[in-house]
Structure 1
Amino acid sequence: MSTAPRFATIAQLNDELRRTFATGDVMLTAGIRTLPPAQLPAVLARVRHHNDFTPDNDPYGERDFGAVALEGLGRIFWKIDYYDPTLTFGSEDPADPTRTRRVLTIMLAEEY
């Protein structure tokens, strides 16, 4: 698979996880977990609907990192990492969902 289709496939898989939270693992950092319960749905919605990708903030076109702002909370980062199916090593091929387990981490900016 050439580079452009490979990055497009990775981006599609990342978007699916970010939008649905169903095709991988979602981890919330301690800072996110300690937010008032009423704020968590807004945080998750901002991550799900994030679509502000540019060559400056997404140079490889994988859509694997983003920053969103929420009034009263400041910046929240989200990041997708690629592991092998056992979560032991990094994935050998993030474009292959049978060989990759995606982990989406949502964190306060100061936790990065």
Structure 2
Amino acid sequence: MAGVAALTDAARVRALNDAFRRSLTGGRVVVTVGVAALPETTHAAVLSAVRAFDRFDPTDDSHGEQDFGAVAAAGMRCFWKIDCYDHDLSFAPPDPADPTVTTPILTVMPVEEY
């Protein structure tokens, strides 16, 4: 029975991650120095590519939570990653599948900064 609960939790986390990544609302977006230094149009193109990303595979998404990807936009290759924290941004949330106790953080960085 625990496997069913874990699958359900992963599906709920996946849905929350997708909604946040597509809208960039309901959490925090952090960009590294390399993305922040980009011209505004390139910066916007990178975030647009992150929002549109839909090529998840088991290699990069082993838990099925759709929390990591690599994008290319305006000649720039970037990684993005969603991590879940409690609302104080101090610890992992007690239940990452529960948006009432979870703040997702999306970090975007050039692959060279990984």
TM-score, normalised relative to structure 2: 0.92
Q: 1:43 aligns with which of 43, 46, 49?
A: 46
Query: What are the superposed Cα offsets for residues 17-66 of structure 1, whole Å, 9 maximum, x if unpaired?
Result: 10000110001111000011121121111000000001122111000010
Once the two structures are TM-superposed, the CA of residue 72 in structure 1 deviates from its matched residue by 2.2
1:69 match: secondary structure: strand
Distance 1:72 1:6 in 2: 36
Query: What are the superposed Cα offsets for residues 47-100 of structure 1, whole Å, 9 maximum, x if unpaired?
Result: 000000011221110000100122422x20100011111111121211011111
Distance 1:17 1:71 in 2: 23
Partner of 2:25: 22
Once the two structures are TM-superposed, the CA of residue 11 in structure 1 deviates from its matched residue by 0.3
Partner of 1:93: 95
Partner of 1:61: 64
Structure 1's unaligned 5+ residue stretches are: none
Partner of 2:11: 8
Spell out structure 1 runs of 4+ moving beyond 6 A. none
Distance 1:72 1:89 in 2: 36
Aligned length: 111
**Greater helix share, 1 or 2?**
2
Amino acid at match of 1:45: S
- State whether residues 30 and 108 of structure 2, in contact with CA within 8 Å, keep that contact through their aligned partners in structure 1: yes
Q: Sequence identity of aligned pairs in percent? A: 47
TM-score, normalised relative to structure 1: 0.93
Distance 2:8 2:102 in 1: 17
Distance 2:92 2:112 in 1: 25
